[in-house]
Structure 1
Amino acid sequence: MGNLDLVTIIVIAANAIISYKGFKDYGFFERYKFNVGGIRRGEQIRIFSSGFLHVDMAHLFFNMFTLYFFAPVVIYHLGTLYFLIIYVASLILGNLLSLYFHKEEFHYSAVGASGAVTGVLYAAILLEPSMQLGILFIPLPIPAYVFGILYLLYSIYGMKKQIGNIGHDAHFGGAIGGYVATLILMPSLFKTDLLMVGLLAIPIIVLFVMHKMGKL
């Protein structure tokens, strides 16, 4: 997809600088992380700012490495402005879904760009569903749309079982943000890739049905 776009470099740099500040300054980290109690007291900035903080270098590297691969796909098809809209929408929706599921857990906290990055990943899959992804420990590449569906189904499972110290709901909310924003910004996908639009909607429908039935 060509050289890394300037806007991607700026986003990665912002994550690195703000995360590094958080590594060194505990007060800064605590003030801007996602925290249900803080948000419900009126500190809405946390919904946005927490997306630029990370717990450690490995967490930061994994998110930015993923963004490095998939941002160029979105920028190639939609341009830098729409890429930024998808990134921010996914970040915010990911954290809003976390807030919705944990609204009574005042001590619940989280950080990371995972929601935003998952939204960009899902947007890239929607724009290029036939691209092949090489996954660690899997010998053969798999189609991007298969990965996207399996990833979100795993996220639902993770939300239900509360697997690990991972914000599965933020990942899922980010993916929904990327999915919805991409379709709004490029509605022609309903004509050119209606089957794929429908397939990628399956995990989202499953999530809301399970929630309605009280299974989450």
Structure 2
Amino acid sequence: MGDLDVVTLIIIGVNVVISFKGFNDRAFFEKYKFNSAAVKRGEKLRIISSGFLHVDTAHLFLNMLTLYFFADVVIASLGSISFLLIYLISLLLGNLLSYYFHKDEYHYNAVGASGAVSGVIYAAILLYPDMSLYMFFIPIPIPAYVFGIGYMLYSIYGMKNRIGNIGHDAHFGGAVGGYIFTLILVPQLFATSLFMVILLAVPIVLLFFLQKTGKI
């Protein structure tokens, strides 16, 4: 992990340019951030544009660093175009899920590439579930599928309990986007990794159940 494909470099560059424009131009930031009321009024562009804005340099750096580590895993298997589609679909689905849960909260705002990055992470995990991940605070390698399932379950917990100033629903929606589109692109995973496909679907089914029963 860690090579920079041209498409990855372009995505990072676009995020940096748009984010820094937002840092220095408050009117620009306000015009293109995700806001439930504005989207409901018909400003649909915000669903996409907000995914390229960030709150500050730390927020931007963390998202781009994570993308840097996982992008080449997906590109190596699926190619640059498919990677780009996963990124954009995950961004879109993440913000659409945010809108679904917050459409009546007119003061709900959100920015960041986290949904798109979550989709890339989940795609990489689906393609290479046995790869090991190293976390800053855990000195031993973690299987990718354990991280992926834990990440999704924590997102559900965060959505249910409104933990922190974090768009847990965008993270979850983005991961779902990465999961579904990767399976569309690589349907043979149903034959070669059926157990893992089912296992990674557990948090998605759980969210659907909680939403249908009114518990989230």
TM-score by length of 1: 0.99
Tell me, what secondary structure is at the counterpart of 1:7?
A: helix
2:144 paired with 1:159: no
Match of 1:28 in 2: 28
How many angstroms apart in 1 are the aligned matches of 2:121 and 2:21?
26
For residues 25-174 of structure 1, the aligned pairs below 5 Å read 25-174=25-174
* Cα pair 2:2 2:69 within 8 Å, conserved: no
RMSD of equivalent CA atoms = 0.8
Note if contact 2:152-2:203 (Cα within 8 Å) is conserved in structure 1: yes
1:7 counterpart residue number:
7
Contiguous gaps of at least 5 residues in structure 1 = none
The separation in 1 between residues aligned to 2:2 and 2:105, in whole angstroms, is 45
| AA partner of residue 36 (structure 1) | S
- The CA deviation at 1:52 is 0.1
Q: Are the aligned partners of 2:148 and 2:200 in contact in 1 as well (CA < 8 Å)?
A: yes
What is the letter of the counterpart of residue 208 of structure 1? Answer: F
Offset of 1:137 from its aligned partner? 1.2
Alignment of structure 1 residues 185-204 onto 2, 5 Å: 185-204=185-204
Residues in 2 aligned to 1:3 and 1:66: alpha-carbon distance in whole angstroms? 12
Distance 1:2 1:95, change over 3 A: closer
The alpha carbon displacement at 1:2 in A equals 7.6
Q: Distance in 2 between matches of 1:137 and 1:95?
A: 29
Which consecutive segments of 4 or more residues in structure 1 shift more than 2 A?
none
Matched, 1:207 2:207: yes
Separation of aligned partners in 2, 1:98 and 1:195: 29
Q: CA deviation at 1:139?
A: 1.6
Measured in 2, the distance between the counterparts of 1:3 and 1:168 equals 28
The amino acid that maps onto 2:12 is I
Q: In 2 relative to 1, CA 2–44 (structure 1 residues): closer, same or farther, beyond 3 Å?
A: closer
SS at 1:134 equivalent: strand
Matched residue SS, 1:140: strand
Structure 1 Cα separation of the partners of residues 19 and 3 of structure 2: 25
Query: In 1, Cα distance between the equivalents of 2:2 and 2:53?
Result: 28
Q: CA deviation at 1:213?
A: 0.8
The residue identity in structure 2 corresponding to 1:39 is V
- Alpha-carbon distance in 2 for matches of 1:137, 1:27: 38
Per the alignment, in what secondary structure is the counterpart of residue 163 of structure 1?
A: coil
Could you tell me how far apart the structure 2 residues matched to 1:137 and 1:185 are? 34
TM-score, normalization: structure 2?
Answer: 0.99
Aligned AA (1:136): F
Distance 1:2 1:209, change over 3 A: closer
For residues 30 and 176 of structure 2, what CA distance do their matches in structure 1 show? 27
Alignment length, in residue pairs?
216
Give, in whole Å, the separation in 2 of the partners of 1:36 and 1:25: 21
